[in-house]
Amino acid sequence: MAGFLDQDIKFLPGVGPKRAETLTKELKIKTFGDLIYYFPYKYIDRTKFYKISEIHAQMPYIQIKGKIQSLDIVGTGNKQRLTARFSDGTGSMDLIWFQSVKWQKENLDISKQYIVFGKPSEFNGRINVVHPEMENEEEKQLKPSGMFQAFYITSENMKKKYLNSRTLNKIMLMLIQLAKGKIRETLPGKLVSKLKLISLEEALTIIHIPENTVDLKNARFRLKFEELFLIQLKILALKHHRENKFKGFRFEKIGYNFNRFYADFLPFELTEAQKKVLKEIRRDVNRNIQMNRLLQGDVGSGKTLVALMTMLIATDNGFQSCLMAPTEILAQQHFNTISKFLEGMGMKVGLLTGSSKQAERKVLHEALSSGEMQILIGTHALIEDAVSFQNLGLVVIDEQHRFGVAQRARLWQKNELIPPHVLVMTATPIPRTLAMTVYGDLDVSVIDELPPGRKPIETHHFFENRRKQVNNFIRQQLENGRQIYIVYPLISESEKMDLKNLEEGFRHVTEAFPDVRTGMVHGRMKPVQKENAMQKFKQGETKIMVATTVIEVGVDVPNASVMIIESAERFGLSQLHQLRGRVGRGAEQSYCILMSSYKISNESRKRLGTMVRTNDGFEIAEVDMKLRGPGDLEGTQQSGIGFDLKIANLGKDGEILKLARDIASDLLAEDPLLQKADNRVLLDNLKTKQTDFNWSSIS
C-alpha cells in the first residue's frame, strides 16, 4: 500500500499536472490514495432503460438506447451549440452540447447504437438532455458492468475545468484497474475472518463500481468499520498510555468539609443522577490515576453543585481547586453560586477575571501560593503565569469547547509533579456516538434529571401572523411580575445586517411596550456595558432583555420566565436548546416561543418541531447530528478537534461505532502495545495515519 497509493496524483493517466493542481486545491487530493478514498455521495440505478415516449422533464435521470438521426451545429463563435436528433423508435428527442462542439460532432457516429444517460429538461415543448453521457455498445462491453452510476461531489471551479463527476468516474476507473493486486490488507487477518469482512481491495473496488446492492452494502460496512475502528483504537491507546504515564493525586478520604456541607448546607436533596455521578468521580479520584471525566447535563441539572462537592473532597485531602469559565458573567455567576453554597463554612473562595484590579490580584496570588485560598474561580485569567497554586489537585472546566486546546493544557501545568484531576462540564448535550469519538478518551458522566420542583418549559412555534397574540401574552406575563428575553439571530458579530435587525427589533419592542423598561445586549458592546445591562436585568430594573446569542451561556435570572426567539429558523437545534435553558430557573411555569416566517425549509420545520415536542437535550442532540452532521456540532470544529470522516456517519452508524469500540477495547486489553504479529499491521497503520486529534493530555 505504501508504494502504489502514495504516488503523486499527477502521474495517474488522465490527470496530469493541471488537473492534479485543481484536485489538490479543490478536494485536497494529492495522491492515488487520496483519490481512491474519495467516495461517491450517491448512486443511480443503470439497469433500467426508458422509452423516449415515457420521458418527461420532472424525471431526475434517464437512460435510453437508440440512434442519432441528425447532427447540426447552430450559431457562431462562442455561441455555437451542437444538436443531435435522437430516436429509439417510440419517439425522438434532442441531445445538446454547448462545449467542445466540433470535437463532439467528429466523435459521434450516426451508424452506431448509443446508450444515452442524463437529466431530461424541456424547451419549446420538446424533451432534451444537455451534455449527456454517451456510450456506444462496443465501449460498454469493454467496461465493468456496474449496476450503479457513482456520483461524486465536485466544485464549480472543477466543472469549469472539465473535472465533473463523469470525468472523475473515468479517472477512478483507471485507478481501480491499475490498483489490482497492489492494495494490501490493513486489518489483522483474525479480525477480518471473525467479522467476515471482504478484503480492502475488494471494498474499494465495489464502492466505486458496485455490481449489486449486496456487494455495495458489504463494501460500505467494511470501510465504515475500518474508519471507526482505527479512530477508536487510537483514542483508547492514548487513554491507556495516559493512565499508565500520569499518576494522579489520591483523594482517599471523605472528610470534615464534605460531610458538614452534606449534612448542614446542602440546599436541596441530590437527585439520583447527581448521586450516581458523585460516586463515579469518587471512584476516579481514589485510584491513584489522574481523572479525566466529562460531565454532561442540561442547563439547570445541578452540574455546579456536583463540581463544588468534588472540590470539597479535594479540600478534605489537602488540595486546592479551580474552576475556569468562558466569560466574566459566567465566572461571576459561579463565584456567587459557590460562595452562597459555602456561606458559613469558613472556606476561602476567590474570583479572578480580566477585570480584577491589581491590588485584588496581589492579595489573591498570596492567598493562593500560601494555600490559604482553597477554591479559585475565574476566566482564562487563571492560566496567567503569575497565578501560582500551593497544591492544585482539581481543575474544573465549564463549557470547555469555548477554550482552545493550548489554554486548557496550561491549566494542567499548574502542578509540576503530578497533573491535577480534570472535570470537564458541558450543558451542550453530546450524542452518544459523538461522545465516544470526540471525547472518546474521557470517562463520561451524565446528569439526566432536573432537580425536584423544576417545571418543564412549554415550547410553542408561531408564524409572524400571530405577533399580536404573542405580544398580548408578553404583556400578561409582565403584569404577573415576570421578565422576558427576546433573542435575535447573529451569524457574525461583525455583520451589519444582523446588528440592524437587532436594533430594529429593539425599536419594535419599545414601541409595543412603551411603558416597560427594556435593555439590549450584543457582542459588539464593551464587556463593562454588557455586564451592566445584564446586572440591571438580573436585579429587575429592566423587564425585557433584547439580545443576541451572547446570553446563550449567561447569567442566571430565576424571574425570567419567557424566552422569545425571533427568526428561529436561523438557529441550530443545539443553540435553540441552549437559549431555552435561560428560562425555567425558578418555580414559576416558563415558556419558550419560536417565531418564524411562514416560508421555511423542511429541515427548519423539523428543527422547530423537535423543540416543541421535547425538552430532552440528548434527543435534541441526536436529531441535530442527523440533520447537520458531527462536524458542524458545537464543540467539535471550534476547538480544533474536528475530524474528517470519509464514509462513516456518526448520526447513522452508531451500531458500527459501538462494535468498533468494543473490539478495539478487547484487542488493547490483550495486546496494549500492538506487539503481536497479527496486530503489527495496525501499529503500522496508526503510525502512517497522522490524525489531527490528541486529547489525552488536555482533557
pLDDT tens digits, 521-564: 887 788 788 888 888 998 899 999 998 877 755 567 888 999 99
Separation between Cα atoms, residue 226 and residue 192, nearest integer Å: 10
- Please tell me the predicted confidence (pLDDT) of residue 156: 85
DSSP string, 192-261: HHHTTPPPHHHHHHHHHS-SSHHHHHHHHHHHHHHHHHHHHHHHHHHHHHHHHH-B--------HHHHHI
Separation between Cα atoms, residue 553 and residue 550, nearest integer Å: 7
- Please tell me the predicted confidence (pLDDT) of residue 197: 95
Cell numbers that stand for 462 in this block: 408561531
CATH 3.40.50.300 positions along the chain are 212-454+649-699, 458-614
CATH 1.10.150 positions along the chain are 1-46+146-184
- Please tell me the predicted confidence (pLDDT) of residue 634: 36
Which tens digit of pLDDT belongs to each residue from 485-527?
A: 999 986 444 455 555 578 888 999 999 999 999 999 887 788 7
Model confidence band, residue 406 (pLDDT cutoffs 50, 70, 90): low
Separation between Cα atoms, residue 161 and residue 22, nearest integer Å: 8
For the segment 131-147, the average pLDDT, to the nearest whole number, is 68
Nearest 5°: CA angle at 30, between 25 and 35?
A: 105
Which tens digit of pLDDT belongs to each residue from 159-201?
A: 888 888 888 988 999 999 999 999 989 999 999 999 999 999 9
Model confidence band, residue 311 (pLDDT cutoffs 50, 70, 90): very high
Tell me which architecture the domain covering 48-140 has in CATH: Beta Barrel (2.40)
Share the mean pLDDT of the chain.
Answer: 84
Residue 370 reports pLDDT greater than 70: yes
Residues 340-364 as b or e (16 or more Cβ within 10 Å = b): ebbeeeebebbbbbeebeeeebeeb
- Please tell me the predicted confidence (pLDDT) of residue 491: 46
Separation between Cα atoms, residue 457 and residue 460, nearest integer Å: 10
Residue 388 reports pLDDT greater than 60: yes
CATH 2.40.50.140 positions along the chain are 48-140
Which tens digit of pLDDT belongs to each residue from 394-404?
A: 999 887 555 54
Cβ 128 vs Cβ 64: under 8 Å:
no
Comparing 52-56, 389-393, 433-437, which segment has the lowest mean pLDDT?
Answer: 433-437
Cβ 322 vs Cβ 391: under 8 Å:
no
- Please tell me the predicted confidence (pLDDT) of residue 176: 93
DSSP string, 567-591: TGGGS-HHHHHHHHTTS--SSS--E
For the segment 25-54, the average pLDDT, to the nearest whole number, is 89
Separation between Cα atoms, residue 127 and residue 418, nearest integer Å: 75
> What CATH fold (topology level) applies to the domain 458-614?
Rossmann fold (3.40.50)
- Please tell me the predicted confidence (pLDDT) of residue 454: 75
Helical H segments across 246-353, by residue range: 256-260, 272-285, 303-316, 328-342
Residues 2-39 as b or e (16 or more Cβ within 10 Å = b): eebbeeebbebeebeeebbebbbebbebbbbbbbbbbb
Residue 574 reports pLDDT greater than 90: no
Comparing 97-111, 206-220, 476-490, 504-518, which segment has the lowest mean pLDDT?
Answer: 97-111
Neighbouring CB atoms inside 10 A of 664's CB total 22
Domain at 212-454+649-699: CATH code: 3.40.50.300
- Please tell me the predicted confidence (pLDDT) of residue 632: 43
Is 1-46+146-184 a CATH 1.10.150 domain? yes
Residue 27 reports pLDDT greater than 70: yes
Instruction: Say which residues have a Cβ less than 8 Å from residue 621's Cβ, sequence separation at least 6.
Output: 428, 429, 430, 431, 434, 573, 574, 577, 633
- Please tell me the predicted confidence (pLDDT) of residue 234: 86
For the segment 666-694, the average pLDDT, to the nearest whole number, is 78
Instruction: Say which residues have a Cβ less than 8 Å from residue 41's Cβ, sequence separation at least 6.
Output: 151, 152, 153
Model confidence band, residue 203 (pLDDT cutoffs 50, 70, 90): very high
Which tens digit of pLDDT belongs to each residue from 619-670?
A: 888 788 777 655 443 333 333 334 568 888 776 787 898 899 999 999 998 8
Residue 438 reports pLDDT greater than 80: no
Residue 139 reports pLDDT greater than 60: yes
Q: Which H or E run contains 461? A: strand 458-463
Model confidence band, residue 611 (pLDDT cutoffs 50, 70, 90): very high
Interstrand relation of 113-118 and 62-74 (parallel, antiparallel or unpaired): antiparallel
